[in-house]
Amino acid sequence: MKNVAIRIATSFLVAGVFMDTAHAGFGSWSADVEADPFSGGNNVTVSYMSSLRSGAAILCDSATKELTVRVIPGFVYDIRMVGFDPEMKFAIDSKKLEIDAVGKTGSVGDNLAIAETVLTGDDAKAFVHAFASAKKQVAVKDGISTKPFIGTATGSTAAGKALLDCLK
């Protein structure tokens, strides 16, 4: 009986470890920085996974000083989206940023729909400064979903620093 209890306790412990590992990387912003031998700059990729099929990404190349903000709502791309230019809006900690951007649609991965826009100049700087100082949430209205992407601010300070360095 004692061996059975130990086996059951061990099974729960092992399951708990795998469950924590499965959730690692979800609900938090992370940043990867790589040198780009073609542009001579650095590529920064900031990402947030809501699920295995949805999330957001912010891409920056220090050589161009542009930010690509991409939302992946989690549904399959449909050919009827070709040529649709979604209006994208941003809010950090429930405060709407005065950046309204026209985006484009496309697909990534296993034919998942995306909406993305490129921010430059003052818009890129305003977005990154707000993102880096987020305390509660980062929200993007992607223009193709019925509801906005809303992610926590967890990890946005460190990821925001990588983006700020990219724009310098």
What are the structural domains of the chain?
Answer: 26-167 (2.60.40.1880)
Average pLDDT over the chain, rounded to an integer:
88
The side-by-side arrangement of strands in the sheet containing 87-92 is 95-102, 87-92, 137-141, 149-152
Rounded Cα distance, 131 and 156, in Å: 6
Which pTM does this prediction carry? 0.83
Q: Which residue, 44, 96, 98, 36, is CA-closest to 68?
A: 44
Sign of CA dihedral 111, 112, 113, 116: negative
Q: For residue 12, what pLDDT is reported?
A: 37
Rounded Cα distance, 127 and 113, in Å: 23
Q: What tokens does 71 get?
A: 């939302």
Check pLDDT > 80 for residue 19. Answer: no
DSSP 8-class letter at 79? G
Check pLDDT > 90 for residue 100. Answer: no
Band of pLDDT at residue 162, cut at 50, 70 and 90? very high
Rounded Cα distance, 117 and 5, in Å: 55
Helix (H, G, I), strand (E, B) or coil at 135: coil
Q: What tokens does 55 get?
A: 């999330």
Neighbours of 77 (CB within 10 A): 18
User: What percentage of the chain carries pLDDT values higher than 70?
Assistant: 85
Q: For residue 79, what pLDDT is reported?
A: 93
